[in-house]
């Protein structure tokens, strides 16, 4: 008997307990070597007054086993309750969200019969860092953070995933024609890491045309890695066009703990009636088996499930007259999968999973010898009269200590000097002060003091650095 792997299991709410029970039965029948610790999460915990939906003692189990198989939970309606998914993901540093999107045509209807792609979404950074501000009565902002270590981790994960699963290509989606620094960094890191995997073809698409191509011909893609926001949106698009949102599982991978689940929710109206389809959670469990290095068991479960789908044994949600042969409940579906353990599908493609590669590729290290120089400061100000010339007349005089007013913009469009009367201005302006020969923090602080003394409301500031001589700030449109 193989050594058992400890895992933490939560049965969740609504249909959660039913689909978890049968999922665990199928795993056992397929010979999974699991040592299961059960924790309680979700509605009951929320309603006991814990706004996170998870007890402190449950974290202890998760950090010990480092593997979490989670049934869907109900998030109570109304304010104050936090999404447990977001809490778990952030607390446990789950940087990668992995979602296979596969079509099962002709057994499940779809316009894309040959679709088989995996979205690898960065999970911690980008606009989802949640750093937002209201700058002025009219203008809000959200900071998009893309880091080199964060990009390296997710891109490397995508290539390692491709290698382990014998995937043919890794594609990156980003928008570095517009966001040259943030998405530009993501793309640059992708190109660097791709060189370490010469055996795996790679390509890059600007996200808009890439998304259009994915929606039109998903069979042309294999593994797609993306920053958080694009990945959030496009993983739903991909699951939907595969025709099988209810069948998809997903993994959240971190160095401390990985979480596996179905992508659907707790469907409370279907609960307790032996109706729910356990497939999403079961396929989430297959991802878990691969993660804990039980690929043979993952293969047995996945192939038995494919055979069941192919034999037309379907729960109500995917039942189609003429295609399905039998409409079954949750328990009967699970019994049908168990009866097929050891079998492979005939018409759908059988899956194979490999053991974890022995040696992990070396981590790239950020070059710490970078020369960083302060060149100036951007001062975001509230200027309710909206007249850039009048603002320039005031803030231009505040220059000094080598710092001079280089330009003023409004929402990224240069409005001074030589702005155009047609440009619409809000009440929030950015004044850029630059010292060609470089400056220091004390001079920037003195400048801010002069701005404040002039009675101007400062909404935000941003230091302007060069890194090895390259500007660490973008130009305004029209600058
Ligand atoms: P849902 O995914 O729970 O259900 C939508 C509809 O899809 C259901 O009415 C049902 O008809 C069908 N459905 C979903 N899963 C099914 C299955 N396995 N078998 C058969 N039919 C299925 O979405 P919802 O109704 O918007 O959300 C219900 C609750 O689930 C909410 O409290 C929500 O916050 C929560 N939720 C939890 C998770 C999670 O835990 N990961 C994810 C999404 C939603």
Tens of pLDDT, residues 408-445: 999 999 999 999 989 999 999 999 999 999 999 999 99
What's the pLDDT at 76? 80
CA distance 398 to 12: 60
Ramachandran bin of 274, using left for φ above 0, alpha for ψ from -120 to 50, beta for the remaining angles: left
CA distance 288 to 144: 31
Residue having the nearest C-alpha atom to atom 31 of ligand 1: 74
CA distance 427 to 417: 18
Give the number of the atom of ligand 1 that is nearest the alpha carbon of residue 73: 40
89 lines ligand 1 (CB under 6 A): no
Q: Which of 366, 365, 364, 394 is nearest to 379 (CA)?
A: 394
Instruction: Give how far Cα 177 sits from Cα of 173, 183, 322, Å.
Output: 12, 8, 49
Average pLDDT over residues 331-354: 96
- What percent of the chain is predicted at pLDDT more than 90? 84
What's the pLDDT at 243? 86
pLDDT band at 478 (very low <50, low <70, confident <90, very high): confident
Helix segments in 130-171, DSSP class H: 148-164
Backbone angles phi, psi at 114, to 5 degrees: -110, 25
53 lines ligand 1 (CB under 6 A): no
Torsion 253-147-101-249 (CA) sign: positive
pLDDT band at 369 (very low <50, low <70, confident <90, very high): confident
pLDDT tens figures, 212-242: 999 999 999 999 999 999 999 999 999 999 9
What are the structural domains, with CATH classification, of the chain?
A: 5-339 (3.40.718.10), 372-471 (3.30.70.1570)
Instruction: Give how far Cα 16 sits from Cα of 74, 266, 316, Å.
Output: 9, 6, 17
Q: Which of 472, 442, 445, 444 is nearest to 373 (CA)?
A: 472
Asked whether residue 375 carries a pLDDT value surpassing 60, the answer given is yes
> What does the longest C-alpha to C-alpha distance in the chain come to?
82
Q: Is 410 helix (H, G, I), strand (E, B) or coil?
A: strand
Q: Which of 376, 361, 359 is nearest to 447 (CA)?
A: 376
267 lines ligand 1 (CB under 6 A): yes
Q: Is the distance from CB of 251 to CB of 284 less than 8 angstroms?
A: yes
Say which residue, 342 or 2, is predicted with more confidence: 342
* Residues near 72 by beta carbon (within 8 Å), at least 6 away in sequence: 12, 13, 14, 15, 16, 261, 262, 264, 265, 266, 267, 281
What's the pLDDT at 366? 61
pLDDT tens figures, 76-101: 877 677 788 878 888 888 999 999 99
Ramachandran bin of 477, using left for φ above 0, alpha for ψ from -120 to 50, beta for the remaining angles: beta
Ligand 1 geometric centre to CA of 18 (Å): 14
**Helix H or strand E encompassing 100:** strand 96-102
75 lines ligand 1 (CB under 6 A): yes
Average pLDDT over residues 131-149: 95
């Amino acid at each position: 008997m193989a050594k058992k792997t400890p895992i933490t299991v939560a049965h969740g709410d609504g249909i959660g307990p039913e689909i978890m029970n049968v999922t665990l039965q199928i795993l056992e029948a397929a010979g999974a070597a699991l040592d299961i610790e059960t924790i309680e999460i979700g509605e009951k915990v929320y309603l006991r007054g814990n706004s996170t939906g998870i007890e402190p003692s449950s974290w202890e189990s998760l950090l010990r086993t480092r593997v979490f198989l989670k049934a869907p939970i109900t998030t109570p309606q109304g304010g104050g309750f936090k999404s447990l998914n977001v809490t778990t993901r952030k607390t446990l540093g789950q940087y990668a969200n992995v979602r296979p999107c596969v079509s099962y045509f002709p057994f499940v209807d779809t316009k894309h019969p040959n679709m088989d792609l995996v979205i690898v979404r960065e999970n911690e950074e980008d606009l989802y860092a949640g750093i937002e501000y209201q700058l002025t009565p009219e203008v809000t902002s959200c900071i998009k953070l893309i880091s080199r270590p964060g990009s390296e981790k997710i891109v490397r994960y995508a290539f390692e995933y491709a290698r382990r699963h014998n995937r043919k290509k890794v594609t990156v989606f980003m928008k570095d024609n517009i966001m040259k620094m943030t998405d530009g960094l993501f793309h640059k890191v992708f190109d660097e890491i791709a060189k370490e995997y010469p055996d795996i073809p790679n390509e890059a698409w600007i996200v808009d045309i890439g998304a259009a191509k994915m929606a039109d011909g998903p069979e042309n893609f294999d593994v797609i890695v993306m920053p958080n926001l694009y990945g959030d949106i496009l993983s739903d698009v991909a699951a939907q066009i595969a025709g099988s949102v209810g069948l998809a599982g997903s993994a959240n991978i971190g160095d401390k703990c990985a979480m596996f689940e179905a992508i659907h929710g707790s469907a409370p109206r279907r609960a307790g009636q032996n109706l729910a389809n356990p497939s999403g959670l079961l396929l989430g469990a297959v991802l878990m088996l691969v993660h804990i290095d039980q690929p043979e068991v993952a293969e047995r479960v996945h192939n038995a499930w494919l055979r069941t789908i192919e034999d037309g044994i379907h729960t109500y949600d995917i039942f189609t007259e003429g295609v399905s042969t039998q409409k079954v409940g949750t328990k009967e579906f699970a019994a049908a999968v168990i009866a097929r353990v050891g079998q492979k599908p005939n018409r759908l493609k059988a899956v194979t999973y490999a053991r974890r590669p022995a040696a992990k590729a070396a981590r790239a290290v950020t070059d710490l010898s970078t020369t960083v120089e302060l060149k100036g400061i951007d001062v975001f100000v509230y200027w309710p009269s909206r007249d850039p010339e009048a603002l320039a007349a005031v803030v231009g005089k505040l220059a000094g200590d080598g710092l001079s007013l280089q330009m003023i913009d409004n929402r990224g469009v240069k409005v001074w000097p030589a702005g155009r009367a047609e440009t619409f201005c809000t009440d929030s302006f950015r004044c850029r002060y630059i010292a060609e020969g470089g400056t220091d923090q004390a001079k920037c602080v003195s400048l801010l003091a002069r701005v404040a003394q002039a009675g101007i409301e400062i909404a935000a500031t941003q230091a302007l650095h060069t890194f090895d001589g390259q500007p660490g700030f973008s130009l305004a449109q029209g600058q």
